[in-house]
Amino acid sequence: MRFDLVTIFPEFFAGPLEHGIVRRARETGIISIHVQDLREFTKDRHRTVDDRPFGGGEGMVLKPEPLFEAVEKLLGHGIGDARGKVPLEPRTAIVLMSAAGRKFGQNTARRYAELERIIFLCGRYEGVDERVAEHLATEEVSIGDFVLSGGELPALLVIDAVTRLLPGALGNEASSQNESFAARLVEMPSASGKVATASGKQGNSAGVRLDFPHYTRPADFRGWTVPEVLIGGHHAQVASWREEQALAKTRRNRPDLLG
């Protein structure tokens, strides 16, 4: 999978991409990442990428010309104009990172993991010319109900979330299936040998919830001990406890996920 990052601060990405799962995925060829300096597509000696907003108001706005030209260079063809647009290659997305976008979540990460290429447009200043959102980006995405200085950090978060869902990116593929926001069925063997959900009802319904609590050695740390059920070795009881604790944590921290 290929990620492109269009930014006025290419040096921003020098460190974060060199660590952890993203680094290993790059080294093994699972993903490739290209950082594109937006200022290469300016026409003046000051390398200007922004201008004052029409209608007045505070701040500066990123101009559409350099963003369109940067994406066209990356794609290898023109986007088109008001008379007609050139369609993108299948399984390609152009994502504008913006506080005004749709909120990014695990379902979006899963959808992105099915693509072959994502071009991230990292906004700055007061905002980006709306024609970029309407006619260049395929979608506008926010990582939460807060405002950051630019789209670089949000783009990194999305890359990390998507990369770990790609086959081979994690050492244990089950890691991405049994964690927060994973829609999953917790199965436990019943006395009859049939599989039942944690609620005791047989079925295949999946629920979205936060991850269950994790513990490791030492079993007793400053008087805080690991729950006895995790030490006993009874797998069905462990599965039941984890489901109950995941539900309790979801009720406590993210009740909105439960409807």
With 50 as the cut, is the pLDDT of residue 189 above it? no
Which of 154, 141, 165 lies closest to 22 in space, CA to CA? 165
Mean pLDDT for the stretch of residues 154-162: 97
Over residues 117-130, the pLDDT tens digits come to 999 999 987 789 98
Residue 92 has pLDDT above 80, yes or no: yes
DSSP labels for 2-66?
Answer: EEEEEES-GGGGTTGGGSHHHHHHHHTTS-EEEEEEGGGG--STT---EEPPTT--SS-EE-HHH
Per-residue pLDDT at 173? 63
> Distance (Å, rounded) from C-alpha 8 to C-alpha 149?
12
Quick: pLDDT tens for 210-223.
888 888 888 888 88
Domains for the chain: give ranges and CATH numbers: 2-173 (3.40.1280.10), 178-258 (1.10.1270.20)
**CA dist 184 to 21, 161, 197, 204, 259, Å?**
23, 18, 10, 9, 16
From its phi and psi, is residue 29 left (phi > 0), alpha (psi between -120 and 50) or beta? Answer: left
pLDDT over 50 (residue 188): no
Q: Give yes or no for residue 171 having a pLDDT over 80.
A: no
Say which range, 32-36, 37-41, 50-54, 113-117, has the weakest mean pLDDT.
Answer: 50-54
For the record, the structure tokens of 166 come out as 């790609």
Q: Work out the average pLDDT over 3-16.
A: 95
Degrees to nearest 5, angle at CA 143 with 250 and 97: 165
